[in-house]
Homo-oligomer: A and B are copies of this chain.
Amino acid sequence: MEPESKDESQPSDQWPHKAWSLLSAVRRHSPLIQCITNFVSMDLMANTLLSAGASPAMLHTLEEIPDFTPQVHALCLNVGTLSADWLPAMKAAAEFASKSCKPWVLDPVAAGASVFRLRACLELVQLKPTVIRGNGSEIMALSKASVGPTKGVDSSHESTDAMEAAKALAQGSGAIVAVSGAIDIVTDGKRVVEAHNGVAMMQKITATGCSVTALIAAFVAVDQSNALEATALALSIFGVAGELGMSLARGPASLRMHLIDSLYGLDEATLISRVKITSFD
């Protein structure tokens, strides 16, 4: 109702239809997504991409980047189990993607866990990711190291801090920045979009965050000119799959299974009735 929250360019009821349109495009085009990711996430990430209709390719070797990366439609880099011998391939793939205007997405897992990791993330940010997705503390650590501390209007609220950090990181890096949480936030530094789908138990399954980052890569691959919207929609759709899965689950392991099944089987009516995105311009 407030003027500042009104989204003139994108009426709010357009989001669910856009969600279906994008998911259909992923299913139709089956974009090839190269993932250089952590060991823990590889299985769930590949299965998430497959169930959404995309084609995963888990190639991480430096020697293969020049031959293979030109063939992919998007790239997903994740530093979860980073080691010094994997970093050159990540950088080479990111560099290639940036130069050839191919979208690529960065997941700065545990960015603040060590100096080594934070430096690696900063080097990757320099290579112009299309999207950066993390949780609040990851985005705050990366933003602080990248563009300096932000002063939220009310820094006692963590979500406000994360929002300010995300905006600053987006402005400083040129990337779309997504912060996962009870409500997912996506920003280009000015515009803010919130995705309200998902269930809390998804955090009790390892690699759900990593997997939604790969899903973002698949969505941006089929709608590169609207990376902010594609990112918000991927987060929302993964959340919808979680909600549907939750209705069948007994715990985290059955949720994991039902989430993937639900993502695979998602139909238009169900998706449209559940996507909850709000946009603030």
Residue from A57, A66, A204, A206 having most chain B Cβ neighbours under 10 A: A206
- A84–B63 contact, CB under 8 A? yes
Task: Judge whether A58 is part of the interface by a CB distance below 8 angstroms.
Answer: yes
**A180-213, CB under 8 A of B: which get 1 and which 0?**
0000000000000000000000001111000000
Interface majority SS on A: helix, strand, loop or mixed? helix
Task: Judge whether A113 is part of the interface by a CB distance below 8 angstroms.
Answer: yes
Interface residues of A in 207-265 (CB under 8 A from B): 207, 249-254, 256-265
- Residues of chain B lying within 8 A (CB to CB) of residue A59: 81, 110, 113-114
- A58–B46 contact, CB under 8 A? no
- Residues of chain B lying within 8 A (CB to CB) of residue A66: 114
Interface size, chain A (Cβ < 8 Å): 54
The answer for the CA separation of A260 and B252 in the assembled complex, in Å, is 7
- A61–B47 contact, CB under 8 A? no
Contact A68 to B114, CB < 8 A, known contacts A50-B204, A206-B47:
yes
Task: Judge whether A91 is part of the interface by a CB distance below 8 angstroms.
Answer: no
- A residues at B contact (CB < 8 Å): 38-40, 42-44, 46-47, 50-51, 56-61, 63-64, 66-68, 71, 80-85, 110, 113-117, 204-207, 249-254, 256-265
Could you write out 6 A-B pairs with CB less than 8 Å apart? A56-B206, A60-B83, A61-B116, A64-B114, A68-B114, A85-B85
